[in-house]
């Protein structure tokens, strides 16, 4: 067998492709380990960080698996390559399932983080609303301008403008009532804006990641293969789905025949009576 033999050239090329595939697998494993450590399984922020890291490097094993298929196709007589391809195709099954399970995990983690952030925001807004209510009581119950400012200092409230100190008490009350009303309206706007901004921050990102996870899941399913099966997992699933409509009409036809027989028997009994 000379070096110009096409089969030998295909063999050398398939070995190079297989080696490149293993390099990609190794890079994926190294980066996954770097993203996992330190492990915080119940931390939603860690879960989202891990999902983002996996989405950034998920193309590595997918490309490696494709190169391994190509290498085995170039040298289909090489049993070692075929055996390695079978193992890689079987390992792609849990990877495919893992990407599919990451979709609900991502939404759950986003929901937990959103609830936590929403709780902190609501506590801050409630604190500010309580402060506004206390300030109203101070303005209503104080008997002089000096008492107003001394009670404001005791509440650790933001100091009013210096021009307010020279105002008579009735004028000060009216001015501070308007200021407190404006502050209350701003709090309501902040509450509404927080809900809208939370939606536009969470939903587009989660939808994008869901589509990416589903795409990688379909990609691995197209190259994965179960033990003892000739078709890839994706084609095997499509084949099963195509067979389902062929069974339904048969059962429907059986049911309609039984109904017709029961109806004919019922009519015959009525005619006898």
3-state secondary structure 206-261: HHHHHHHHHHHHHHHHHHCCCCCCCCCHHHHHHHHHHHHHHHHHHHHHHHHHHHHH
Q: Please give the share of the chain, as a percent, with pLDDT higher than 70.
A: 80
Residue ranges per structural domain of the chain: 6-230, 235-273
Instruction: For 157-173, give one letter per residue: b (16+ CB within 10 A) or e.
Output: eeebeeebeebeeeebb
Please say if the pLDDT value at position 101 is more than 80. yes
The Cα 173–Cα 163 span in angstroms is 13
| Max mean pLDDT range (8-17, 103-112, 186-195) | 103-112
> What was the pLDDT predicted at 170?
78
| Higher pLDDT among residues 17 and 252, named by residue | 17
> What was the pLDDT predicted at 224?
85
> What was the pLDDT predicted at 154?
74
Please say if the pLDDT value at position 76 is more than 80. no
> Half-sphere exposure (CA, 13 Å, Cβ side) for 42?
0
Q: What is the pLDDT of residues 104-136, one digit of tens each?
A: 999 888 888 877 777 777 777 777 777 777 777
Find the angle CA(217)-CA(221)-CA(224) to the nearest 5 degrees: 135
Average pLDDT over residues 137-159: 72
DSSP code at position 78? -
Per-residue pLDDT band for 82 (boundaries 50, 70, 90) equals confident
Per-residue pLDDT band for 156 (boundaries 50, 70, 90) equals low
> What was the pLDDT predicted at 60?
94
Q: What is the mean pLDDT of the chain?
A: 78
The Cα 174–Cα 139 span in angstroms is 9
Is the separation of the CB atoms in 48 and 87 below 8 Å? no
- The three-state secondary structure class of 92 is helix
Q: What is the pLDDT of residues 241-269, one digit of tens each?
A: 777 655 444 444 444 555 556 556 654 65
Average pLDDT over residues 216-244: 82
Give pTM, 2 decimals.
0.63
Which tokens belong to 237? 């699933």
Q: Which residues contact 71 (CB under 8 A, 6 or more apart)?
A: 13, 14, 15, 17, 18, 21, 81, 85
């Amino acid at each position: 067998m000379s070096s110009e033999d096409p089969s030998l050239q295909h063999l050398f090329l398939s070995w190079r492709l297989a080696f490149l595939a293993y390099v990609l697998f190794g890079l994926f494993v190294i980066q996954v380990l770097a993203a996992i450590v330190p492990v915080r399984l119940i931390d939603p922020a860690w879960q989202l960080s891990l999902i983002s890291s996996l989405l950034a490097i998920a193309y590595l094993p997918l490309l490696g698996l494709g190169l391994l298929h190509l290498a085995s196709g170039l040298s289909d007589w090489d049993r070692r390559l075929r055996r390695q391809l079978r193992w890689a195709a079987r390992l792609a099954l849990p990877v495919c399932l893992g990407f599919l399970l990451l979709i609900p995990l991502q939404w759950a983690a986003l929901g937990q983080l959103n609830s936590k952030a929403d709780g902190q925001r609501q506590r801050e807004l409630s604190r500010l609303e309580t402060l506004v209510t206390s300030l109203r009581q101070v303005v209503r119950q104080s008997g002089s301008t000096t008492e107003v400012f001394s009670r404001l200092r005791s509440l650790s409230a933001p100091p009013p403008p210096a021009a307010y100190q020279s105002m008579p008490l009735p004028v000060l009350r009216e001015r501070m009532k308007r200021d407190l009303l404006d502050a209350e309206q701003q709090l309501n706007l902040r509450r509404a804006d927080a809900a809208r901004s939370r939606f536009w921050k969470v939903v587009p990102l989660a939808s994008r990641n869901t589509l990416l996870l589903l795409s990688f899941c379909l990609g691995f399913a197209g190259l994965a293969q179960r033990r003892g099966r000739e078709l890839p997992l994706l084609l095997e699933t499509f084949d099963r789905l195509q067979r389902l409509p062929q069974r339904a009409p048969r059962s429907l036809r059986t049911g309609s025949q039984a109904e017709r027989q029961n109806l004919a028997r019922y009519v015959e009994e009525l005619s006898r009576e």
